[in-house]
Every structure is written in structure tokens, then in C-alpha cells.
């Protein structure tokens, strides 16, 4: 079989089409992921925390600088409790801080843990 016959064979065409489909699907997945990380479809941190609680599963939260941080259900609940306890102006500032970077996100988590956890009972 010569080269032209190979290129013209149905088996070659089938393999070529399958290869192109796989590459196209991979590219589409990459484009979708890139598009989701833009602000067009990006959920607010508060929405992502609510989603974690409603799904009952840990999930990565994507921040404004495109860092992501894994958040468990308990932490998401604690952060929403903190946000809901704040007045609108302070809630907006705290949400902006949460959204800005992983370092700031963890600072807010530490603040919430210090201020929302019930004190340990003392033995008398």
C-alpha cells in the first residue's frame, strides 16, 4: 500500500477524525476553563461559600487574583456566619478582603475562628 492509499483509506480517515475530535474537545475544555475564570462567569466568594454548604462538599474557591483555595463545609459556614453578622459596609469590605488573595482569605478565616468559636468551658 502506498502513501496515497493509506491517506485515502477509511481506517486512516476514521483515526484522523477521532484524533481531531479529541484535540478539539481538549481545546474546548481549556477555553471553557479559561472563560470560567474570567469575571464574566465568576461567582462571588459569598456565592461560592453558599454553594459549598448547599452541596455539602468541600470545593475550591477561585479568588480575584485567580488563586484558588480549598474550603471545607465547616469553614464555609463559619465565614458566612461572620459575613451575615456584619453591617452592609463592613460585609462588603470583608468580602473584598476574602476575595483578594489566599493570604487575606486565611486572615479572615483566622479572625472568624477567634471571634465565632464558643469559648471552652472552664472547670470549677
Q: Quick: pLDDT tens for 60-80.
A: 998 888 888 999 999 999 999
pLDDT band at 103 (very low <50, low <70, confident <90, very high): very high
- Say what the pTM is: 0.62
Q: Please, what is the angle between helix 73-85 and helix 45-55, to 10°?
A: 130
Sign of CA dihedral 84, 43, 109, 111: negative
Identify the residue whose cell numbers are 459549598: 52
CA dihedral in degrees (63, 69, 72, 73; nearest 10)? 0
In Å, what is the CA distance from 70 to each residue of 30, 58, 75, 100, 113?
21, 7, 10, 15, 17
Amino acid at each position: 500500500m502506498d502513501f496515497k492509499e493509506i491517506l485515502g483509506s477509511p481506517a486512516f480517515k476514521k483515526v484522523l477524525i477521532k484524533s481531531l475530535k479529541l484535540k478539539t474537545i481538549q481545546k474546548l475544555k481549556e477555553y471553557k476553563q479559561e472563560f470560567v475564570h474570567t469575571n464574566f462567569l465568576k461567582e462571588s466568594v459569598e456565592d461560592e461559600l453558599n454553594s459549598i454548604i448547599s452541596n455539602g462538599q468541600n470545593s475550591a474557591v477561585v479568588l480575584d487574583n485567580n488563586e484558588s483555595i480549598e474550603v471545607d463545609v465547616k469553614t464555609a459556614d463559619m465565614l458566612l456566619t461572620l459575613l451575615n453578622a456584619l453591617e452592609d459596609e463592613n460585609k462588603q469590605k470583608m468580602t473584598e478582603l476574602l476575595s483578594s488573595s489566599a493570604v487575606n482569605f486565611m486572615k479572615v478565616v483566622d479572625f472568624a475562628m477567634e471571634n465565632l468559636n464558643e469559648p471552652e468551658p472552664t472547670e470549677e
